[in-house]
């Protein structure tokens, strides 16, 4: 890379001044203002004080001592208080663009060495359909996985299913009550039970199903190898005849199966694919919970008090100690979560990234404390908090509560605005800031919708390319000789943006900020639209110029498509008719 060449070039002049140090950071950045070149460094400013010299003077001396290939760097200038600005030679930019085109530039950034990284997201309780909050997590998690893969890691997407807790039982009891009501019995839904429409739907469905139908449903479900999930034998009326606890368990088992099937189907519709669905019940059955507890004990991180067993999380910066085993002998969710992440670590991941909802941020301290107590290196577990999404309809926020069944489901969101629009809008904001999602705006297929802006750029290119064919022009693979003919500012602005793709991917992956991709592709689309406006691409009168411009179009198309693929959004060849 040119950056490292420039850094190396500083060695000679710095040594001459007797201030060369091995670990001296020579920061190079892309100036905001084009007038300041393509790369800029402030080393002179930083060193000036230490040396007691005037920054500009020092910058001049450093710049004079730089030996750089004119074919790569066109000019070196001193500017402002003492910046040294570099302007790339056109040949260098062309070379980079060809590398992007050929894929070499994307191969260069695969530096992860195939190390496995676990990315856990959504992990919603299996007690109802997925809601829109999960959609935001899905967009981030899946895109981060693709970004990590793009930089050479082996990302592993994972969904944790809390199937062992009290909530699933409560769901079973709620379903049972609804079913019995339909059978004309006077049974009330338990306190804090689930009352959403989806429970009614399940109950109504059970009314019609005999034992064979139940098994058939289970079989269909098992097709996709969820070995831990199966249907209870018999049908709903048989389950009602069982003692209450067993009866509830049967309904719960059935409900779990149904809901997971919905959740999985919804994820699929949203383009989410999970390598692993990890079931909490497995942790208990394989005694991992006990073993994790043993490790904590061995590491002297637990103590007994008030009849319960506690984790000494205050020793790890938490504000108070936390219960692991309640006085009634039950393990807390915290302990199960520790066991789960302990196992994640043991499974050999380089690091683990979790996306959590905003209501869990108070949980980070104790979780990371727990991991350290288990001997996991600090920083191994990274937690990204996704802030709330407020959905607006007719300018008013929609309130959401899962228990009452009043919430916008992820399916409804996909139905109304489409998966692509939803994903893109989620990824226009950074994860830890609140997001206001205007449903009417997203639905309106208008120019206010950023997704169409980008997709339109792609469709426009496709259209131009096909028009070129009709005009008798030939689409050729980009070559340096042809690209050298480009001389319009709009063409070079576009090219400069095109060659940024690899570094944007690297930065987005490293910072765990997938939203940088949407910013990038929006900017790229804007530059293409400007180029289109200012430059006549298909011009039979000037074939050579047309061919060069068509190469730029092809490269832009490829980069837009690559960026959209990372975001998980379709790159259409033509836009659908506007209504």
Determine if 45 is a binding residue for RNA (CB under 7 A).
yes
Which residues from 549-578 bind RNA, rule CB under 7 A? 574-578
- Do residues 498 and 100 lie in contact, with contact meaning Cβ atoms separated by under 8 Å? yes
Nearest distance in Å: CB 305, RNA: 6
The CA distance from 241 to 179, in Å, is: 13
Residues binding RNA: what is the number (CB under 7 A)? Answer: 97
Give residues 296-315 in contact with RNA (rule: CB under 7 A): 305-308
Q: What is the Cα–Cα distance from 516 to 99, expressed in whole angstroms?
A: 22
CB contact set of 123 (below 8 Å; sequence gap of 6+): 159, 160, 161, 162
Q: Name the segment binding RNA (CB under 7 A); options: 66-74, 243-251, 261-269, 451-459.
A: 451-459
Residue closer to RNA by CB (options 101, 363) is: 363
| Contact region with RNA (CB under 7 A), list: 105-113, 208-216, 242-250, 428-436 | 428-436
Q: Which of 414, 499, 374 is nearest to 39 (CA)?
A: 499
DSSP calls for 368-421: HHHHHHTTPPTTSEEEEEPPPEEEEETTEEPP-BTTTTBS-BHHHHHHHH-HHH
CA dihedral 548, 553, 555, 558 (to 10 degrees): -160
Length of the chain: 579
230 binds RNA, rule: CB under 7 A: no
Q: How far is the CB of 577 from RNA (least distance, A)?
A: 6
Residue 125 contacts RNA per CB under 7 A: yes
Answer yes or no whether residue 344 interacts with RNA by CB under 7 A: no
Q: How far is the CB of 457 from RNA (least distance, A)?
A: 8
Least Å from the CB of residue 515 to RNA: 7
Residue 387 touches RNA, criterion: CB under 7 A:
yes
Determine the Cα–Cα distance for residues 495 and 497; give it in Å rounded to an integer: 5
Shortest Cβ 39–RNA spacing (Å): 9
Is residue 8 part of the contact set for RNA (CB under 7 A)? Answer: no
Task: Kindly tell me which residue out of 234, 507, 561, 570 binds RNA, with binding defined by CB under 7 A.
Answer: 507
Stretch that binds RNA, among 63-71, 247-255, 323-331, 405-413 (CB under 7 A): 323-331
Element (H, E) at 119: strand 116-120
Using CB under 7 A as the binding rule, the residues of this chain from 12 to 41 that contact RNA are 27, 29-33, 35-37, 40
Of 233, 286, 399, 433, which lies in the binding site for RNA, with binding defined by CB under 7 A? 433
Distances (CA, A) of 402 to 120, 193, 195, 251: 22, 11, 9, 20
**Among 215, 276, 314, 530, interactor with RNA by CB under 7 A:** 530
Using rule CB under 7 A, residue 404 touches RNA? no
Within positions 267 to 296, which residues make up the interface with RNA, using CB under 7 A?
Answer: none
DSSP-assigned letters across all residues of 191-241:
TT---SHHHHHHHHHHHH--HHHHHHHHHHHHTT--TT--PPSS-HHHHHH
Strands 276-279 and 381-385: unpaired
Candidate residues 7, 284, 312, 429; the one interacting with RNA per rule CB under 7 A: 429
CA dihedral sign, ordered 178, 184, 190, 195: positive
Candidates 14-22, 210-218, 225-233, 530-538; binding stretch for RNA (CB under 7 A): 530-538
Q: Which residues within the stretch 533-552 sit at the binding site for RNA (CB under 7 A)?
A: 533-539
CA distance 332 to 339: 11
- Stretch 356-375: interaction string toward RNA, x if CB under 7 A: --xxxxxx-x----------
Residue 444: CB partners within 8 Å, gap ≥ 6?
none
**Phi, psi angles (nearest 5°) of residue 73:** -115, 120
Per CB under 7 A, 401 contacts RNA:
no
What is the rounded distance in angstroms from the CA atom of residue 135 to the CA atom of residue 122?
8
Contact region with RNA (CB under 7 A), list: 173-181, 226-234, 242-250, 439-447: 439-447
Nearer of residues 116 and 529 to RNA, judged by Cβ = 529
**Least Å from the CB of residue 315 to RNA:** 16
Site string for RNA, 58-97 (x = CB under 7 A): ---------------------xxx-x-x------------
Minimum Å distance from CB 139 to RNA? 14
Contact 515, 428 (CB under 8 A): yes
Nearest to RNA of 43, 98 (CB atom): 43
């Amino acid at each position: 890379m040119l950056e490292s060449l420039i850094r190396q070039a500083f060695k000679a002049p710095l040594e001459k001044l007797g201030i060369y140090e091995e670990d001296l950071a020579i920061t190079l950045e892309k100036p905001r203002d084009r007038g300041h070149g393509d790369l800029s460094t402030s080393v002179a400013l930083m060193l000036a004080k230490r040396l007691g010299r005037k920054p500009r003077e020092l910058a001049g001396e450093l710049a004079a001592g730089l030996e750089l290939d004119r074919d790569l760097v066109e000019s070196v200038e001193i500017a402002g208080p003492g910046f040294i600005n570099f302007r790339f030679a056109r040949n260098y930019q062309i070379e980079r663009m060809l590398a992007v085109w050929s894929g070499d530039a994307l191969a260069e950034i695969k530096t992860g060495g195939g190390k496995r990284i676990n990315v856990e997201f959504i992990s919603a309780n299996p007690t109802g359909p997925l809601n829109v909050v999960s959609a935001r997590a899905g967009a981030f998690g899946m895109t981060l996985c693709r970004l990590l893969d793009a930089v050479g890691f082996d990302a592993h997407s994972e969904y944790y299913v809390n199937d062992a807790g009290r909530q699933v039982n409560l769901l079973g009891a709620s379903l049972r009550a609804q079913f019995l009501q339909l059978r004309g019995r006077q049974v009330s839904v338990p306190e804090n039970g689930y009352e959403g429409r989806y429970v009614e739907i399940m109950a109504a469905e059970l009314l019609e199903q005999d034992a064979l139908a139940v098994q058939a449903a289970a079989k269909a479900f098992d097709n996709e190898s969820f070995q831990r999930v199966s249907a209870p034998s018999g049908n709903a009326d048989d389950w009602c005849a069982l003692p209450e606890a067993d009866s509830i368990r049967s309904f719960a088992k059935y409900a779990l199966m149904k809901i997971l099937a919905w959740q999985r189907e919804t994820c699929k519709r949203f383009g989410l694919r999970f390598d692993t669905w990890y079931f909490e019940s497995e942790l208990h059955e394989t005694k991992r919970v006990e073993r994790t507890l043993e490790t904590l004990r061995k590491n002297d991180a637990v103590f007994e008090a008030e009849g319960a067993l506690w984790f000494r999380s205050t020793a790890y910066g938490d504000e108070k100690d936390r219960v692991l085993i309640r006085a009634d002998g039950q393990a807390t969710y915290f302990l199960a979560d520790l066991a789960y992440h302990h196992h994640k670590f043991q499974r050999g991941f380089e690091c683990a990234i979790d996306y959590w909802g905003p209501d869990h941020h108070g949980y980070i301290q104790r979780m990371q404390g727990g991991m350290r107590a288990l001997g996991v290196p600090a920083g191994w577990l990274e937690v990204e908090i996704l802030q709330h999404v407020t959905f607006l309809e007719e300018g008013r926020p929609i309130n959401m509560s899962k228990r009452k069944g009043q919430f916008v489901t992820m399916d409804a969101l996909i139905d109304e605005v489409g998966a692509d629009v939803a994903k893109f809008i989620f990824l226009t904001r950074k994860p830890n800031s609140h997001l206001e999602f205007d449903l009417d705006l997203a639905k309106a297929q208008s120019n206010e919708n950023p997704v169409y802006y980008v997709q339109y750029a792609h469709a426009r290119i496709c259209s131009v390319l096909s028009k070129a064919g009709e005009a008798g022009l030939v689409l050729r693979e980009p070559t340096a000789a042809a690209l050298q003919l480009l001389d319009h500012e709009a063409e070079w602005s576009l090219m400069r943006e095109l060659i940024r793709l690899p570094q944007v991917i690297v930065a987005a992956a490293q910072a765990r900020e997938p939203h940088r991709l949407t910013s990038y592709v929006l900017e790229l689309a804007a530059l293409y639209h400007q180029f289109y406006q200012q430059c006549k691409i298909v011009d039979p009168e000037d074939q050579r110029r047309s061919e060069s411009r068509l190469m730029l179009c092809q490269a832009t198309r490829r980069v837009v498509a690559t960026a959209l693929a990372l975001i998980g959004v379709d790159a259409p060849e033509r836009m659908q008719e506007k209504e």
